[in-house]
Amino acid sequence: MTTETTIEINLPALKKNFSFIRSKLSPKTLMLGVVKACGYGSSSIEVSKLLESLGIDYFAVAYVNEGVELRKAGIKSPILVLHPQISNFKKAIEFNLEPSLYSNRVLKAFVDLSAQQGLENYPVHVKFNTGLNRLGFGHESSDQVAKKLCQERSLKVRSIFSHLAASEDLDEKTFTELQIENFEKASKKFALSYGEMPIRHLSNTSGVLNYPNANYEMVRCGIGLYGYDNTKENTALSPVVSLKTIISQIHDIKKGGSVGYNRAFFADKDKKIATLPLGHADGIDRKYGNGVGYVLIRDNIAPIVGNVCMDMIMVDVSNVSCEEGDEVVVFDSINSAQKLAEKANTISYELLTALSTRIKRKIVK
C-alpha cells in the first residue's frame, strides 16, 4: 500500500514490451532502446540494466550527462548521444559515448578534438534530415559528408540515421514514404562514397508497427518500451510507470466556499475535498486543474478542483467513500497516462517525462 507519492516502475511490463517489439523484427535486426529523460520519467538506470540483461544492442540518450550517469551505474552497452553539445565532447570521449554528428560545425569540432587526442576509429553516428527539419545534414549531401568522413582516420561511422516525423499518423503515409525514400537514396550515396554501408536506423516505435519495410539494420524504440505506441491503447503493450499518492487531509466545504489559489473553485453545494501531496513541481501541470484532470480513489473518479499548486492538488471526493491516508491512483496500467494526458489535450510523453526526480521510485520486479 502506498504511503507517500510514489512512481512504481514495473519491470515485468518492460520485459513484455521488449519481447513484443522484438517479435516484430527480423532476428538480424538490431534494437536500440531510448532511455533519455530519466527513462521517460521512470529510471534510466533500472530500465537500462534490465534491457541490457535482455540483450538490447544499443542505447540512446539525448545529452552527454545522461550517458555518463549510465556508465557510472555500470552500463557497458554502446550509447548513442542524440543531441551532444560541443562543450561536452571531451566528457563523451572520457566515458566512451558515441555522438551524433548532425552539422558541419559539430563534425569539425569532433574531428578536431579527436585528432588532438590521437583517437583512431572512434565510433560516431551521422544524422540526416529527411523531413522532420530538426537536426541533421541535408539528405541530398550524404555523399559529400561521406567523403569528408572517409578522410578522417580518427573516426569510424558506426551508423547513419534519420527521424520519421509522422509515422504514427496514417493520414501522413505519403509524407512518411517520401522520408523513407529519401533516406534510402541518402544511405546508398553515403555508402558509395564512404566505401561501406554503416548500420542504418530510421524507425521509431510507430515506424516498427506501421512501416516494417523501413526497419533496416536497426530500429530505435522509446515510448513503446514504456507501454505506449503513440496513437492508441495497444493491448500488446503494458504501461511501465504508475503514479500513486495518498490523501493527506479531507475538508468539508460549505456551499459557496472556495478552494485553492485565486479561489478558482467555488462549491455549488456542500462538498468534501481531499488534498493530495503532489503538484506542478512533481509534473502535474496546472492545465490539469479546474476539472480537467482526475484521479482514482477506491476505483472512483475524483476530479481535480481549483488550481494545481506547486506541491498539492485538491480533488472532489463528495461521492467517494474514503479516508485520510487512503491510496490514490493518478495513473497506472489500467487508467493510463495516455488517458489522463488526453484530458489536457496533450500526449503521454509530456506527462511521463515531466515527473519530478524528487518523487520516490519503487521498482516492481
Q: Could you tell me if 167 and 207 are in contact, meaning their C-beta atoms sit under 8 angstroms apart?
A: yes
How many CB atoms are closer than 10 A to CB 330? 27
Name the region of 218 (left: φ>0; alpha: ψ -120 to 50; beta: rest): beta
Q: Could you tell me if 16 and 336 are in contact, meaning their C-beta atoms sit under 8 angstroms apart?
A: no
Q: Is 261 a catalytic residue?
A: yes
Query: What whole-number distance in Å separates Cα of residue 161 and Cα of residue 180?
Result: 11
Three-state SS for 324-338 is CCCEEEEECCCCCHH
Q: Is 36 a catalytic residue?
A: yes
Options 90, 255, 261, 339, the catalytic residue:
261
Look at strands 271-276 and 313-316 and give their pairing: antiparallel
DSSP string, 245-312: EE--EEEEE-TT-EESGGG-EE-SS-EEEEEES--TTTT--GGGTTTT-EEEETTEEEEEES---SS-
Query: What whole-number distance in Å separates Cα of residue 69 and Cα of residue 81?
Result: 12
Options 36, 127, 189, 271, the catalytic residue:
36
Query: What whole-number distance in Å separates Cα of residue 315 and Cα of residue 305?
Result: 5
Which sign does the torsion angle of CA 322, 324, 325, 328 carry?
positive
Query: What whole-number distance in Å separates Cα of residue 338 and Cα of residue 232?
Result: 8
Active site residues: 36, 261
